[in-house]
Amino acid sequence: MAKVIPFKGVLYDPRKVDADSVTAPPYDIITPEYREVLYKKSPYNIVRIDFGKEEDGDNEDKNRYTRASGFLSEWTSQGILVNDDGPAFFCYEIAYEINGEHKKATGFLGAVRIEELGSGKIHPHEMTYSKPKSDRLNILRHCQANTSPIFSLYSSKERRASSILEETVGNAPFLVARNGDGFTHRLWRISDRVSIEAIREEMSDKDIFIADGHHRYETALRFKKEMEEKGLLKTGDEPYNYALMFLANMEDDGLTLLPTHRIVEIDSDIHPKEVLGTYFDIQKIEADGLSGKQARQELFKVLRGRMHSFGMFLTNSNTWYVLTFKGGKPEIELPGCLRNLDVTMLHKVIFERLLNIEHYEYEMDPDVAVERARKGSFEAVFFLNPTKLTDVKEVALAGERMPPKSTYFYPKLLTGMVIYRF
């Protein structure tokens, strides 16, 4: 069964620092330029711990990981970071805007017992790369803490925890932070025994689906094994047997899934329109008199809601198309839960079978994707519809994994709202 417990959080003292200045986006979306911005915001910004800069003269004994550990200890001794009095869950709400619509995403932060993926109640849905896992492992080794939460989902039609969160947000929050997008992140403690037991009981039989943070989870599992190899496993309930997670109920409204688009290089001997016509109906978006942004908006109007459809922008001709699969079976040798995904068809049919694409890059913002394609040595951008939450659940429960960057859960959690220190 899933074991989700409250924990003694380490939090910024809002009387000493401005939460807007000390919190940061997840490390994997911070550019080098924005890291500089975060460094200048405050000498106590969490980025110095979670994703610090490399410096001249760094070596095995002095580097960004040793500095991270030093900052964590120093800020705690200064009272910038404070240790909570007792175990608690933390209600976390994000008020944000997407496509002109105001929404709120709500969940709670807790410590979740780590287990081997695929062996119990915790399920991944995407493949991962090794380099980010190495970086996260070094943070764990030096800081002995989870500095940023894993974004996870569960499904409960009974909504017991959801009801507790709905009551909690009517109270004054402990911490309020606004990020660069103008979104408001609010945090509350849930420390009363009745609420804690109700949440623990509801979560005890729930499957947990990792939405964002696969690298962090796999790193936490690796770190747990390292501690066991050192002979530190005594009861199985030591803090390193758990990982900090944000848990949101899939039955609640509020979360948004966005696609991640692909910027690609195409061999000059291949003519995309001719080759793709074998499997796809090709509709040109008439863009005469329209700006590039307006043409993209027209493309997404046509694309939205269509199954097995993709947008395509060709840089050499400055033209926009919608590709719609003609039907039949594309003969993809994968389990059904993967075979029917748009992202699978894009990679297996369009990239591998038809266009022989070997190099592509990812970009979530369609405007940035087109700009990058025009400035770089790229011939095309392929746009996707979002993957569905039900597909994430189906793939995870089947023990399969989607290609990297198949999903982009939105909005992103802030790092630094609460730390789980071992």
- Condensed to tens digits (0 to 9), the pLDDT of residues 240-269 reads 999 999 999 999 989 999 999 999 998 877
In terms of Cα–Cα distance, which of 321, 347, 324, 325 is closest to 334? Answer: 347
pLDDT at residue 132 in the model: 62
The model's pLDDT over 285-331, given as tens digits with 9 standing for 90+, comes to 987 888 888 998 999 999 998 889 999 999 988 999 999 999 866 67
Q: What percent of the chain has pLDDT over 70?
A: 98
Contact 415, 25 (CB under 8 A): yes
Coil vs helix vs strand at 76 = helix
The set of residues, in sequence order, having a beta carbon less than 8 Å from that of 99 and lying 6+ positions away, is: none
Contact 380, 369 (CB under 8 A): no
Mean pLDDT of 189-204: 97
pLDDT at residue 72 in the model: 98
Which tokens in the block code for residue 99?
Answer: 């496509």
In the predicted model, is pLDDT for residue 131 greater than 70?
A: no
Architecture of the domain made up of 260-385: 2-Layer Sandwich (3.30)
Query: How far apart, in whole angstroms, are the C-alpha atoms of residue 343 and residue 310?
Result: 10
The pTM score is 0.90
pLDDT at residue 238 in the model: 93
pLDDT at residue 153 in the model: 95
Query: How far apart, in whole angstroms, are the C-alpha atoms of residue 51 and residue 25?
Result: 10
Sheet of 309-314: strand order equals: 280-284, 319-325, 309-314, 380-383, 261-264, 360-363
- The domain segmentation of the chain, as residue ranges, is 4-255+409-421, 260-385
The model's pLDDT over 358-407, given as tens digits with 9 standing for 90+, comes to 899 999 999 999 999 999 889 999 999 999 988 988 988 888 888 888 88
pLDDT at residue 161 in the model: 97
pLDDT at residue 187 in the model: 98
Q: DSSP code of 336?
A: H
pLDDT at residue 119 in the model: 78
pLDDT at residue 330 in the model: 65
In the predicted model, is pLDDT for residue 335 greater than 90?
A: no
Which tokens in the block code for residue 271?
Answer: 């003519």
In the predicted model, is pLDDT for residue 229 greater than 80?
A: yes
The model's pLDDT over 269-284, given as tens digits with 9 standing for 90+, comes to 778 888 999 899 999 9
Coil vs helix vs strand at 408 = strand
The set of residues, in sequence order, having a beta carbon less than 8 Å from that of 30 and lying 6+ positions away, is: 24, 38, 47, 51
The model's pLDDT over 11-65, given as tens digits with 9 standing for 90+, comes to 999 999 999 999 999 998 899 999 999 999 999 999 999 999 999 999 999 999 9
Place 130 in a pLDDT band, splitting at 50, 70 and 90. Answer: low
- Mean pLDDT (the chain) is 92
Place 117 in a pLDDT band, splitting at 50, 70 and 90. Answer: confident
